[in-house]
Chain A
Amino acid sequence: MNFKKLTIASVAILSLALTACESSEEKGASNNAKVEKQTLTNVSYDPTRELYANYNVAFAKHWKEKTGKDVEITQSHGGSGKQALEVANGLEADVVTLALEFDVNAVRDAGLIEDGWVKEFPLNSSPYTSTIVFLVRKGNPKNLKDWGDLVKPGIGIITPNPKTSGGARWNYLAAWAWAENQYNGDQEKAKDFVKKLYGNVLVLASGARGSTTTFIENGQGDVLLSWENEAFLALKDYPNDYEIVIPSISILAEPSVAIVDKVVDKRGTRELATEYLNYLYSDEGQHIAAKNHYRPSNKEILAQYKEFDPNVNLFSIERFGGWDKAQKTHFSNGGIFDQIYEKK
């Protein structure tokens, strides 16, 4: 009995080694011989799941019409920073569609994306934008209208951890900008405000989706600082339980898309990847973005969707001197975010 087992085991090990070789060969073959069916890997971040699920279907149809070839698109989603890191570490992505420029820069720094990627596609390579809003329980029982209301005692805030979530950094910076305006640019007061705000945070989830779950499924807190598109999604699922509050000032979040040059050159998919990202700017791509509650960068299409409040006062990351600077001042180790927690 035992002899059999060992034989089986050794055969299995051999087959493991063989399949490993085979599968890599197969891949090589599929690149050369079977050109008809192409594959593309899009590494994205958490809240774009629904967007790309829809977009990939539309794009596959478009690509078939244009070139007569089938394309199979593999998606990967997760926290934006983590996704960037995995691409930098060897995850073979043809394109990245991440939450912020800073994360794409991390892939660039690994030598995978060429310098100047921001100018490769229109509008700083961000085909759609979003912003940060408040999601509150129906009827807004705590009467939360603006950032200033969030620091009142007894308010429970849910937001992800800026250290681990791209979206949470936008939240934090939006609050900071409001305070800066409020206190005429007094940095100490702004810091104090943000500190108070995070003092009211009940659960600091590691990702945007985690905090939405905490707020909705586990019923924690009075207000969720959320991506606009996430808030709309929650509203769609639970129209009677929540409402959206748009603060007087918020941040213009510009998610970035880029081609991973090293990978597309190796796999021979540059043409496909370029078209994939370009098509996001087409009318159809823009409509798909809007239907998934992202603000299309095409102003005419944006105007067709009434749900996006055009009057909201949005500022861009340039206000903080760009991502590299904002990251360093606020979120690096020992940065302001660490300080507001340490001075407790």
Chain B
Amino acid sequence: MKRNSVVIPGFGLTTGVTLAILSVVVLIPLASLVVFSAQMSASEIIDVITRPRVLSSFKVSFFTAFIASLINAVMGVILAWVLVRYTFPLKRLVDGTIELPFALPTAVAGIALTALTADTGLIGGFFAKFGIKIAFTQVGITVALVFIGIPFVVRAVQPVLEKLDPAYEEAAGVLGASRATIFWKIILPELKPAIFTGFGLAFGRCLGEYGSVVFIAGNQPFETEIAPLIIMSELQEYDYASATTIALVMLVASFATLFLVNLAQARNSKILKGGR
């Protein structure tokens, strides 16, 4: 603080308001979760989270969230690229629909996606001919998560791509590098932090997603049962201790993801600045 220019006023006020609202809305409620699970001993906690069903639900959640985020990373880069670099008819429309998953209630999305991908649905019926089931399998969960996560990657990559200094690309182009080489050697490395940010945010969001997944998942233990559903079922059994413990594990996971993301973002903003 002292090092910094104290000339700009408002540090006390803004930081104060920030911390106050943060405490009431986020910190105190989260702390109550920690306090609640702290009533358990370490061995009890380990006991809860190593139950085979809990472990397998973690596996399902992490696996599907990971795959969905990977798909999102690839599709997100393609979409961002198309939106930034090309002009084509209906571009504004495509751009506008990217945020749809934010705006559409997850439950509605879940119901609609289930109706589409069940083997009586439009898409599901098509794949059923080849013996592929989508709804009520892990594929279905992944589909729902791709839906939920796509805006995160697109909106993380898009601004960086826009601000990317074209000088290097041009130089490489003039020097005779092929477009593929330019993309892999010059553009992609610059995009990496942004992709990682988007990937991380999508991953974190997908990990906890509940509303849309319960409709499409089938909820079979050991196959399509996700961790948030386990939390729900522990709550219904009045087992607060187990529910909060599992919640805590997921919380730590999302905090870790986010911390990595923010590290990447720090680098990201450097590129954004440099691009100006």
Given known A203-B136, A333-B242, contact A81–B237 (CB-CB < 8 A): yes
User: Cβ of B32 < 8 Å from any Cβ of A?
Assistant: no
B53 pairs with A332, CB closer than 8 A: no
User: Cβ of B212 < 8 Å from any Cβ of A?
Assistant: no
B236 pairs with A82, CB closer than 8 A: yes
Q: Shortest CB–CB separation between residue B210 and chain A, in angstroms? A: 10
User: Cβ of B119 < 8 Å from any Cβ of A?
Assistant: yes
A-chain residues with CB within 8 Å of residue B73 when the two chains form the complex? none
A202 pairs with B218, CB closer than 8 A: yes
Interface string of A152-181 (1 = CB under 8 A from B): 000000000101100000000000000000
A82 pairs with B136, CB closer than 8 A: no
Q: Residue among A79, A81, A164, A210 with the most chain B CB within 10 A?
A: A164
Task: Report B116-154 residues with CB < 8 Å from chain A CB.
Answer: 118-121, 135-136
B236 pairs with A333, CB closer than 8 A: no
Interface string of A192-207 (1 = CB under 8 A from B): 0000000001111110
B219 pairs with A204, CB closer than 8 A: yes
- CB-nearest residue of chain B to A344: B222
Given known A81-B236, A203-B136, contact A341–B218 (CB-CB < 8 A): no
A82 pairs with B219, CB closer than 8 A: no
Q: Residue among B52, B115, B239 with the most chain A CB within 10 A?
A: B52
| Chain A interface residue number, banded | 20 to 34
Q: Is the interface of A mostly helix, strand, loop or mixed?
A: mixed
Taken together as a complex, chains A and B put the C-alpha atoms of A191 and B236 apart, in Å, by: 24
Interface string of A311-344 (1 = CB under 8 A from B): 0000000000000000000011110001001101
B-chain residues with CB within 8 Å of residue A204 when the two chains form the complex? 218-221, 225
A341 pairs with B53, CB closer than 8 A: yes
Q: Shortest CB–CB separation between residue A14 and chain B, in angstroms? A: 15
Taken together as a complex, chains A and B put the C-alpha atoms of A259 and B121 apart, in Å, by: 45
Taken together as a complex, chains A and B put the C-alpha atoms of A106 and B48 apart, in Å, by: 22
- Which residue of A164, A332, A342 is within 8 Å of B52 (Cβ)? A342
Taken together as a complex, chains A and B put the C-alpha atoms of A214 and B242 apart, in Å, by: 29
B-chain residues with CB within 8 Å of residue A109 when the two chains form the complex? 238
Chain B residues within 8 Å of A, Cβ to Cβ: 51-53, 114-115, 118-121, 135-136, 214-215, 218-222, 225, 229, 232-233, 235-239, 242
A164 pairs with B218, CB closer than 8 A: no
Q: Is the interface of B mostly helix, strand, loop or mixed?
A: loop
Taken together as a complex, chains A and B put the C-alpha atoms of A210 and B214 apart, in Å, by: 9
A82 pairs with B235, CB closer than 8 A: yes
Q: List 28 A-B contacts (CB under 8 A).
A: A85-B236, A85-B238, A106-B238, A109-B238, A163-B233, A164-B232, A201-B220, A203-B218, A203-B219, A204-B220, A204-B221, A205-B219, A206-B214, A206-B219, A206-B233, A217-B115, A218-B114, A218-B118, A219-B119, A220-B118, A332-B237, A333-B51, A333-B237, A338-B53, A341-B53, A341-B221, A342-B52, A342-B53
Q: Residue among B118, B136, B219, B235 with the most chain A CB within 10 A?
A: B219
- Which residue of B51, B222, B236, B238 is within 8 Å of A164 (Cβ)? B236
Q: Shortest CB–CB separation between residue A276 and chain B, in angstroms? A: 26
- Which residue of B51, B233, B235 is within 8 Å of A161 (Cβ)? B233
Known interface pairs A163-B237, A333-B51, A341-B221; 16 further A-B residue pairs with C-beta atoms within 8 A, sorted by A's residue number: A85-B235, A161-B219, A164-B229, A202-B136, A204-B218, A204-B221, A204-B225, A205-B219, A206-B219, A206-B232, A206-B233, A218-B114, A218-B118, A218-B121, A218-B135, A342-B52
- CB-nearest residue of chain A to B239: A333
